[in-house]
Amino acid sequence: MNQDQTPYLQARYGTSKPAIARWVTPALVLLLVGGTWLIWSANHFSKPEIHANFISFSTDSPTQMSMTYFVHVRSANKSHECTITASDYQANIVGQITDQIPPGANNFRRTVHIPTRAPAVSASIERCH
């Protein structure tokens, strides 16, 4: 193609800069903003304020069950609480307590006794906050 016809053809057919130049800047901005948010959210939500792990349970009597669990808290200067439930063989909740976790340390091994209204066969940690 002739060099003197190039501006004429660009004006006539609407050719412009290569297509890559139009999307590079928005893609870099999106990558920077999205990547920053992704790193922040992964770091923030992978480290909860309180984390509880179920260890074991045992049935002490038809009206009581004991459960042992481990709690790790991020901020040891405030108290937390965990809701513990006991269930029967049909998964009905037959006992529930709220265990108060005092401030002072980051790691706790807790054993709680749950009074039940019927024989229980399992226990679980409902939530900790």
pLDDT of 16 higher than 70: no
| Domain range annotation of the chain | 3-45, 50-128
Task: Output the pLDDT for position 83.
Answer: 96
- CATH 2.60.40 corresponds to the domain 50-128: yes
Amino acid at 102: P
What pLDDT sits at residue 17? 63
User: In this predicted structure, what is the pLDDT of residue 18?
Assistant: 66
Residue of 70, 65, 94 whose CA lies nearest to 82: 70
For the segment 41-93, what is each residue's pLDDT rounded down to a tens digit?
Answer: 998 888 888 999 999 999 988 999 999 999 999 888 888 999 999 999 999 99
The answer to whether the beta carbons of residues 123 and 57 sit under 8 Å apart is yes
25: pLDDT strictly greater than 70: yes
- Check pLDDT > 90 for residue 37: yes
Residues 99-115 have pLDDT tens digits of: 998 888 889 899 999 99
Structure tokens at 122: 């399992």
Please state, in angstroms and as integers, the Cα–Cα distance from residue 2 to each residue in 8, 10, 11, 15, 118, following that order.
Answer: 11, 13, 15, 16, 94
